Amino acid sequence: MNFTSPRRRFAHVAVAGVALTGLLAACGGSDSGDDGSSGASGPVTLPFWGWANGQDAVVKAFNASHKDIKLKYTKVTDQLTMQKQLTNAVKAGNAPCLVQNTAEYVTSWVSQDALADISQYVDSAKGKFNAGAWAGAQVQGKSYGVPTSSSPNFTIYRTDVFEKYGLKAPTTWDEFIAAGKVLKKHGVKITNYAGEDPSTLEVLAMQAGAHWYAIDGNSWKVDFQDAGTLKAAKVIQEIIDNDLNSKLSFADYAAVQRNYDNGGTATRQISTWQQAGMVQNFTKSFGKWALSPWPTFDGEAAKTPAGTNLTGSVTLVTKQCENQKQAAEAALWMSTDPAAVKTMASPETGNGVFPALKDSDSYIAQATSEKLLGKNYDAAQTVVKDSLSTITTDWTFGPNWTAMFTEMQAGWAKVVSKEQTVTDLLAHMQEWTVKDLKSRGISVKG
């Protein structure tokens, strides 16, 4: 795989550029004209669905600077809600032209024939983006959208809580668990596992070198029980068994943020964009947070995951869009216009998303919150910058990712509530995923 530099290794969706003939459901061509438009004269209005803070401001700026294209923005609750609403819209034949999403879902939507191949409209801009982020919007070497962000990942922790109990920022998962046991004695949890969000299992498995999906000849290989996944499962199980985690659902987002603000939970493993929610909801703990590298597995070199909601985001163009050329133009503008990128990069004005651009170091300060970090702000920028060199580069998202993740959600809730173990869930996911892929007519081994 080719990357711009050792410091800029971004997540690479492994299906991009790989011959996948027979691995995905058949995908047809565009239903629009040769130029991807309906042929209508005059300004066109493009429905755009997203969930990120700041997008409404970007849309306003786009509409002010374009006469022939207008965006009509609808804010969706979150990325999981997006998948459900988009599924319904595609079935009903009224999908929006533009959709915010994350790289993990691109293959799934292509396999459902929901996205437009916009390569002819966007590939000339490839050089503006880092290689990994660009790959995240592709399947089989075809572009189905434009990358909007990358994902430097790290730990954020409460310095006052750690100092009070004589703790240092954990550098390994063993140290993380040990610190959690100390904090537990004082009524503080070290992390939060929301029962509806199994991304914790995914990202730790990814970091541990797991490969839930892989390409084996002309088939998909499925393995939810490889050595890396079991190593991740052991860490998670120990945290749950020792009651080191809060169990707050993001369904009550304000309650989760109050818990962090009040010191009930002392750390999060996040990317830049999650700082926005903290900044917008905190009232008590500004200046009491610091960043540290993502914990490693004992004896291993630094490696941070790139998956799930931490994955770089993309703006996708749907196949039902009658003005695909204009949609592609709008997507490119939102990802490359300096003012738009700056708006989205800031935790104060946008979502704190780290740009997908090739030259993005200048945005590190913008994407890191001085209000949240206080005196730790300068040091935090180094942590963010360094994390870009350790992001996982060999993870593959399968063609039924949306369905798989939904199934995993139900099982993860039982893991968090101690009704089953992590390994129980993994055994179920192995059997379920193979069966689901076969039911879709996709060749699979596992």
Q: Could you please report the per-residue DSSP string of 347-405? A: TTTS--PEE-BSS-GGGTTTTS-HHHHGGGHHHHHHHHHHHTTSB-------TTHHHHH
3-class DSSP state for residue 17?
A: coil
Residue 304 — pLDDT band, cuts 50, 70, 90? low
Residue 295 tokens read as 């914990």
Residues in the chain: 446
Task: Quote the percentage of the chain above a pLDDT of 90.
Answer: 65
pLDDT bucket at 358, cuts 50 / 70 / 90:
confident
Most confident of 141-150, 168-177, 365-374, 379-388: 168-177
pLDDT tens profile 93-117? 999 999 999 888 898 899 889 999 9
What does pLDDT average to over the chain? 87
303 C-beta neighbours (distance < 10 Å), count: 17
CA 366 to CA 125: how far, in whole Å? 24
Structure tokens at 282: 């905190």
pTM of the model: 0.76
Distance (Å, whole) CA 340 – CA 347:
13
Report pLDDT for 28.
39
What CA dihedral angle connects 226, 228, 229 and 233, to 10 degrees? 130
Encoded tokens for 248? 């707050």
List pLDDT tens digits, range 326-339.
999 999 999 999 99
- The reported pLDDT for the residue numbered 134 is 86
